[in-house]
């Protein structure tokens, strides 16, 4: 499954003195390579998150197109784009994203329940949680988890639909070295299986797993 | 829909405080709507029933009927009263020009003593001339009312042996009348012969009986009049008031208008109160839903990241708010019913207005309407808040909450 961007740009409107537009991402061409683990690095505020959100179908570019197997993601209506994203793109956003009121297992199973009808993936969910080292917490409510446990739960959740594309924004930010290694090895194995994996990271330790590294600077994306 | 439904139900169950708080606000909506509408409808029913039971164009009573125990008191509150005009006056009334039919009624009050089952107003009517009581009795009893029989209002307690004792004699209860919501529900009806018997017994038993010496065959407590076509009740009533002293003729229209005016005022007050409570409750709902939706931005953003469409989020919100609102509205109806029915009796006494509860059919429609309107209001208010958020870009929602 091929994900690419054609001259995508994102401007934000900034209110205040001298109201004007701020360009977070300048026109960028990009192709996420299949079977490879691609990492995106750059200083804070360089536009990395905005860029991957546009790639993930979560933020409409001001200009340009995001193509998934040649189809413009943003030309689809919301229902279609949501269904396509749910089945094909696993997203791990920044921050803590546990849904309160649901157990760890329920959190992980949610994406599979959205379009899966009665097909449950409980077995796969347990496997993923086991890989993340938190299967023993499957019946615990997400608000009782630590930051690191929540990150690992979010990773398992993003993988439950076995997406061909994985996009993660600082997935190892709250994790210790051992768990970071575990997670990066999982992403690496996914890439080896043929998935396209794109990770935003600040951590040098994670970079050794990368097949390709891009550095974002002021909204532009020269290859490192 | 399966996901939205299951997710919404889980949210309701796992967030009991939030769910119960919202349900309580909707409870207030349905409670006020039900109680308000029930009261207004019951007052209107009571007025309709009062108008129907009056059944005459003019009511003539002796001047002594003014004040406590007047026809109004008897009709509206069931206060007992005894006053009489002479047979001569009755005959004059019947011969007044414009009178098509005149029917005498004789009021008797049972005593609160061992001689009587209970203290009630007894109304004697003449089956030959009556055009007011018989049609009403005909609605619940098709048989003949013989001498010694009584027909009782809906609120009179009838013993298992169907015998009521008045002044030492037992009388057979031939029928129990349909509820009217007026004072007539506590009255007992009998033919003039029966009432005359009761009056004679009363005179023998009680020295102070007000009808001692009064002949029910001749005297009357009230004369009900139907006017001929071409005459107005006001004209005929004026004619009677001018030419026959010691009696007071009142057009039924003005009696109804007096009640109607009072009812209109009460209905307006109730309507205004319901309106104010609704405006406040809907405003509170709007604020609460807006706050809750704001609090849930992160949750919605996460669901969007996972692939939920705007339509799905909208469905989740819609189902959640609808289920909570339905539960709240149903609880409000239950509380409303528990309060409104006893409140009706209190209101009837306090407002001095006829009060007749709606029949089961109208009650079902009222319940369904209160349920749907209240639950609908809750759900619509929730959706207004949801619409603001589901249209936002997911990435921006995440960023706002980061």
Predicted confidence pLDDT, tens digits, chain A (224 residues): 899 999 999 998 777 666 577 888 989 999 999 999 999 999 988 999 999 999 999 999 999 999 999 999 999 999 999 999 999 999 999 888 898 889 999 999 999 988 875 467 899 999 999 999 999 999 999 989 998 899 999 999 999 999 999 999 999 887 888 889 989 999 999 999 999 999 999 888 888 899 999 999 988 887 55
Q: Report yes or no on A20 lying in a domain.
A: yes
Backbone angles phi and psi of B304, in degrees to 5: -65, -40
Please answer whether residues B385 and B289 qualify as being in contact, where contact means their C-beta atoms are separated by less than 8 angstroms.
Answer: yes
Please answer whether residues B314 and B386 qualify as being in contact, where contact means their C-beta atoms are separated by less than 8 angstroms.
Answer: yes
Q: Cβ contacts (< 8 Å) between B299 and chain A: which residues? A: 99-100
Q: Which of B307, B387, B402 to mutate to test the interface with A (most CBs of A within 10 A)?
A: B307
The answer to whether the CB atoms of B298 and A101 lie below 8 A apart is no
Q: Report yes or no on A224 lying in a domain.
A: no
Vertex A102: Cα angle to A96 and A104 (nearest 5): 65
Residue whose pair of structure tokens reads 């970079």 in the numeric block: A207
**CATH assignment at residue A67:** 3.40.50.300
Q: Report yes or no on A69 lying in a domain.
A: yes
Q: Report yes or no on A221 lying in a domain.
A: no
Q: Report yes or no on A125 lying in a domain.
A: yes
Where is pLDDT greater, at B52 or A96? Answer: A96
Where in B82-202 does DSSP place strands (E)?
99-109, 121-125, 149-152, 163-166, 169-176, 187-191
Q: Report yes or no on A153 lying in a domain.
A: yes
Say whether residue B292 is in contact with chain A using an 8 A CB cutoff.
no
Say whether residue B1 is in contact with chain A using an 8 A CB cutoff.
no
Give the nearest partner residue to A82 out of B2, B308, B401, using CB atoms. Answer: B308
Q: What is the DSSP string of A44-71?
A: TTSSHHHHHHHHTTSS--SEEEEEETTE
Tens-digit pLDDT profile for residues B134-170: 887 887 788 888 888 999 988 888 888 888 888 888 8
**Chain A nearest-CA residue for B1:** A114
What is the pairing mode between strands A20-32 and A63-68?
Answer: unpaired
Q: Report yes or no on A28 lying in a domain.
A: yes
Q: Report yes or no on A82 lying in a domain.
A: yes
Beta-bridged to residue B318, according to DSSP, are none
The answer to whether the CB atoms of A59 and B299 lie below 8 A apart is no
The residues in B 164-183 lying below 8 A from A, measured between CB atoms, are none
Q: How much is the ipTM here? A: 0.91
User: What is the number of structural domains in chain A?
Assistant: 1
The answer to whether the CB atoms of B310 and A94 lie below 8 A apart is no
Distance from the B289 Cα atom to the nearest Cα atom in chain A, whole angstroms: 18
Q: A107: domain range?
A: 3-215
Alpha-carbon torsion angle B390, B393, B396, B401, nearest 10 = 20
């Amino acid at each position: 499954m091929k994900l690419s961007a054609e001259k995508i740009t994102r401007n934000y409107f900034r209110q205040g003195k001298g109201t004007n537009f701020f360009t977070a991402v300048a026109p960028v061409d990009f192709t996420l390579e299949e079977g490879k683990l691609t990492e995106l690095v750059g200083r804070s505020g360089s536009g990395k998150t905005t860029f991957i959100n546009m790639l993930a179908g979560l933020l409409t570019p001001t200009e340009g197109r995001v193509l998934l197997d040649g189809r413009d993601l943003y030309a689809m209506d919301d229902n279609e784009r949501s269904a396509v994203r749910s089945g094909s793109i696993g997203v791990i956003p920044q921050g803590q994203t546990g849904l309160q009121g649901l157990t760890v297992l329920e959190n992980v199973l949610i994406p599979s329940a959205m379009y899966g009808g009665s097909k449950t993936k409980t077995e796969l969910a347990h496997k993923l949680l086991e890989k993340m080292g938190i299967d023993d917490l499957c019946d615990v409510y997400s608000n009782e988890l630590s930051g690191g446990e929540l990150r690992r739960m979010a990773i398992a959740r993003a993988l439950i639909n076995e997406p061909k594309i994985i996009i993660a924004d600082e997935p190892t930010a709250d994790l210790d070295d051992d768990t970071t290694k575990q997670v990066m090895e999982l992403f690496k194995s996914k890439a080896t299986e043929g998935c396209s994996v794109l990770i935003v990271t600040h951590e040098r330790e994670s970079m050794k797993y990368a097949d390709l590294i891009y550095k974002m600077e002021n909204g532009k994306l020269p290859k490192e | 829909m399966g996901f939205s439904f299951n997710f919404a139900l889980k949210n309701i169950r796992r967030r009991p405080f939030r769910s119960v708080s919202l349900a309580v606000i909707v409870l207030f909506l349905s409670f006020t709507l039900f109680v308000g509408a029930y009261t207004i409808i019951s007052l209107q029913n009571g007025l309709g029933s009062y108008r129907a039971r009056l059944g005459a164009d003019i009511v003539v009573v002796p001047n002594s009927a003014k004040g406590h125990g007047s026809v109004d008191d008897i009709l509206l509150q069931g206060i007992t009263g005894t006053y009489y005009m002479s047979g001569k006056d009755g005959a004059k009334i019947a011969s007044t020009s414009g009178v098509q039919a005149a029917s005498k009624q004789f009021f008797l009050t049972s005593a609160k003593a061992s001689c009587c089952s209970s203290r009630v107003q007894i109304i004697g009517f003449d089956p030959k001339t009556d055009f007011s009581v018989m049609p009403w009795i005909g609605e619940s009893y098709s048989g003949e009312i013989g001498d010694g029989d009584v027909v009782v209002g809906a609120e009179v307690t009838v013993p298992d042996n169907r015998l009521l004792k008045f002044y030492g004699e037992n009388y057979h209860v031939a029928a129990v009348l349909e509820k009217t919501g007026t004072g007539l529900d506590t009255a007992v009806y009998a033919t003039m012969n029966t009432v005359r018997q009761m009056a004679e017994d009363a005179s023998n038993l009680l020295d102070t009986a007000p009808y001692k010496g009064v002949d029910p065959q001749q005297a009357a407590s009230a004369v009900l009049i139907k006017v001929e076509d071409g005459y107005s009740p006001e004209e005929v009533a004026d004619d009677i008031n001018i030419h026959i002293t010691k009696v007071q003729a009142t057009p039924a229209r003005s009696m109804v208008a007096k009640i109607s005016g009072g009812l209109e005022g009460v209905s307006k007050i109730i309507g205004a109160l319901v309106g104010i409570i609704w405006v406040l409750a809907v405003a509170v709902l709007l604020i609460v839903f807006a706050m809750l939706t704001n609090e849930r931005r992160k949750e919605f953003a996460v669901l969007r990241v996972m692939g939920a469409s705007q339509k799905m989020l909208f469905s989740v919100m819609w189902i959640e708010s609808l289920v909570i609102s339905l539960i709240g509205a149903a609880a409000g109806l239950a509380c409303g019913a528990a309060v409104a029915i006893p409140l009706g009796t209190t209101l009837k006494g306090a407002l001095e207005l006829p009060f007749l509860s709606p029949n089961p059919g109208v009650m079902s429609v009222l319940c369904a309407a209160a349920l749907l309107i209240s639950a609908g209001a809750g759900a619509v208010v929730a959706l207004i808040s949801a619409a603001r958020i589901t249209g936002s870009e997911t990435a921006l929602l995440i960023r706002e909450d980061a």
